[in-house]
Amino acid sequence: MSDSEKSRRQGKPTHGDNPSVTNPAGNPLAGNPNAAAAGTLPAAPSNVTVAETVPPAEMGAAIAADAAKKAKFPVSHLLVRGFLCTPFLGYGAAVVFAMVSAGIPLGAAGLIFPVGYVTLSFLGLEMATGSFAVMPIGLYAGTVTLWQLIRNWFWTLVGNLIGGIFFAWLLWFSLTYGGAVPPNPMLVHIAHVAEHKVAYSQFGIIGWCAAIGMGVLCNWLVSLGSVMSKSSRSTLGRAVLMWIPIGTFFALGFEHTVVNMWLIPTGMFSGADVSIYQWWVWNQIPVTIGNILGAMVFNGTLWYYTHALNP
């Protein structure tokens, strides 16, 4: 009688009877090396824990990497992504103005506005006001050149402007049947807001500087959308962190150059007493300057400087 037969009669397990027999080290794979591949054994537990929150220094590195990607986009893609961006801001703002025209306070209605920003962010579109913070960080980190920064800003702004004017015309045309019927309450409210946005002209050079200040206050907040989106690894976390500064800006009524590329043309189509000269000289140009300063100085320079040198 063989040893194997003796063992079986005595009730002792053999390698043939128990494919998961352990080796002296307690490895359950020793008896059947194909068991793991066949999926018959549970995977070994992992001791690696991934934190959802990203430290500021890592956020800066991720933003610098994004800047490098933006610098490589062909002009055609900057134009397309910029063109597609502004209408989503227009959608969000239009919802707010529809709510305000129905009697809801701006502070409450403005909390809805970030829906457009979150949408364009997850779609990977290009908004100049975000790039006003992202590209300087790339410049300081050495991932982009000054020429690449200027190129990105210019073509993104052009794409944003084309998209804004197109969406303004499409919205006005669709709601008024090409001017056959009067503007609805939402369009009337937008026209009043457009007139208010060029009222800086009443105060001369001080008014022009005030428009710059309103742009600084705006994009100090808005450009945080691009920055704070890097502080979470979860989709929900990113959406919430972007929502906070964007909703705050709109509720406070600060000046955003890309939003105005849609809002003021919509108001002009809807009968606002605003000329192209007033639009550009008394709003679009000073607000753009303010948006650049707010993002580049406070977020793209000071915030990045302190965390890059002292992580």
Give percent of the chain with pLDDT exceeding 70. Answer: 83
User: Would you list the DSSP string of 31-80?
Assistant: S-TTHHHHT-SPPPPP-----SBPPHHHHHHHHHHHHHHHHTS-HHHHHH
Band (pLDDT 50/70/90 cuts) for residue 106 is confident
How many Cα atoms are found within 13 Å in the side-chain-facing hemisphere of 8? 9
Which long-range contacts (C-beta less than 8 Å, at least 24 apart) are formed by 296-301? Answer: 296/132, 296/133, 296/136, 298/220, 299/133, 299/220, 299/223, 299/224, 299/227, 300/132, 300/133, 300/134, 300/135, 300/136, 300/137, 300/140, 300/223, 301/136, 301/140
Q: Which CATH architecture has domain 56-309?
A: Up-down Bundle (1.20)
Q: Say if residue 27's pLDDT is above 90.
A: no
Per-residue pLDDT at 170: 98
Give percent of the chain with pLDDT exceeding 90. Answer: 72
- pLDDT, the chain, mean: 87
Per-residue pLDDT of 197-235, as tens digits, reads: 999 999 999 999 999 999 999 999 999 998 998 988 899
Which tokens sit at 246? 């964007």
**What is the rounded CA–CA span in Å between residue 230 and residue 28?**
42
The β-bridge partners of 53 are 232
DSSP 8-state assignment for residue 231 = G
Q: Say if residue 1's pLDDT is above 60.
A: no
Per-residue pLDDT at 311: 65
Rounded to the nearest 5°, which phi and psi values hold at 232?
-140, 145
When pLDDT is averaged across residues 118-131 and rounded to a whole number, the result is 96
Per-residue pLDDT of 137-172, as tens digits, reads: 999 999 999 999 999 999 999 999 999 999 999 999
- The pTM score is 0.82
3-state secondary structure of 232: strand
Per-residue pLDDT at 141: 96
Per-residue pLDDT of 251-299, as tens digits, reads: 888 999 999 999 999 999 999 999 999 999 999 999 999 999 999 999 9
| In the chain, domain spans | 56-309
Per-residue pLDDT of 29-41, as tens digits, reads: 344 444 434 444 4
Q: Say if residue 110's pLDDT is above 90.
A: no
Per-residue pLDDT at 124: 95
Comparison of pLDDT for 25 and 112, the residue scoring more: 112
